[in-house]
Amino acid sequence: AHPRRAGPDRSGGGVPLFETERPDYVFLVAGKVGGILANSSYPADFIRDNLMIQSNVIDAAHRHGARKLLDLGSSCIYPKHAPQPMTEDCLLSGALEPSNEWYAVAKIAGLKMCQAYRRQHGFDAISLMPTNLYGPGDNFDLDSSHVLPAMLRKFHDAKSRGDDHVTLWGTGTPRREFLHVDDLARACLYVMEHYEGEAFLNAGVGADVSIRELAEMVQEVVGFSGRIDWDASKPDGTPRKLLDVSKLHALGWQASIPLREGVAATYQWYLQHLAEAKAVA
């Protein structure tokens, strides 16, 4: 079947696309996502929307005869203080990060639903847990975006206004891993073709940077010459999030896009689309 995109269905009535197109392979990548501010402001939205999207799509895929489904989760499923790097068996071994536990609980339910449908119905549903994602097409809204696109937007806006500083949340000490969206797309295709296990897999690059290091990288890419101020009264979130990707490496897949190269390409995409938006206006 040719690739088709189905919008997230929160109605509880199923996904009409499955009835009309009968897809053979399903990539469940839809979801409600956001940073610390969005997660803390809209907890009900995050758990409700993600649970309903997963439930509707997984069940519809099974009922309408899909050969295989890949559910895309998140590294947020792991405990706040999980040993680093985090292996797949760290799941449910401790308390979640409070700032995004609603999203995390929904994502855990999604991977467990895949396992349950495999055990009860023999449905070939697999799950992939990616680390923090970034790249062209990202969300740059400061109220709902993740840390990397939010930084790009803040430094760009500060440079455009001629500001002498940028204020960022937290201390800058937490460490994060970032995977380019094109690398993840290749990983999804790879595991869809080469993996059939019940156990979920981590997807990442296997290396991390501090938020401070990331900020300095973004500052350099954007060309902002002012200083960076850190607001330590704001939350840092999880101290470190680095995935153990040895299982995916053993399967034959590795990420290929260096972080700085990916950040620079993402900023160029942002500039291009900013210019297009102004031209339309």
Alpha helices in the chain (DSSP H): 16-21, 36-41, 43-63, 101-121, 147-161, 181-194, 211-222, 246-251, 259-280
pTM as predicted? 0.88
Q: What gap in Å lies between CA 77 and CA 86, rounded to an integer?
A: 11
- Token digits of residue 138: 């990202």
Instruction: Write the CATH number of the domain with boundaries 16-280.
Output: 3.40.50.720
Q: Nearest CA to 100 among 149, 45, 172?
A: 45
Sign of the torsion angle spanned by Cα atoms 154, 157, 159, 165: negative
H-helix or E-strand containing 79?
A: none
Strands in 196-239 per DSSP E: 201-203, 209-210, 227-231
Neighbours of 249 (CB within 10 A): 13
pLDDT in tens, the chain (281 residues): 445 565 555 544 557 889 999 999 999 999 998 877 888 899 999 999 999 999 999 999 999 999 999 999 999 999 999 999 999 999 999 999 998 899 999 999 999 999 999 999 999 999 999 999 999 999 998 887 889 999 999 999 999 999 999 999 999 999 999 999 999 999 999 999 999 999 999 999 999 999 999 999 999 999 999 999 999 999 887 788 899 999 999 999 999 999 999 999 999 999 999 877 665 44
Q: Can you give the pLDDT at residue 281? A: 42
Displacement of CA 171 from its chain's centroid (Å): 23
- Contact present, 69 and 126 (Cβ < 8 Å): yes
Q: What gap in Å lies between CA 40 and CA 33, rounded to an integer?
A: 12
Neighbours of 93 (CB within 10 A): 12
The residues annotated as belonging to the active site are 103
- Contact present, 23 and 60 (Cβ < 8 Å): no
Pairing of strands 132-134, 175-176: unpaired
Pairing of strands 165-169, 227-231: parallel
Q: Omega of the bond prior to 85 within 30 degrees of 0, cis?
A: yes
Neighbours of 151 (CB within 10 A): 24
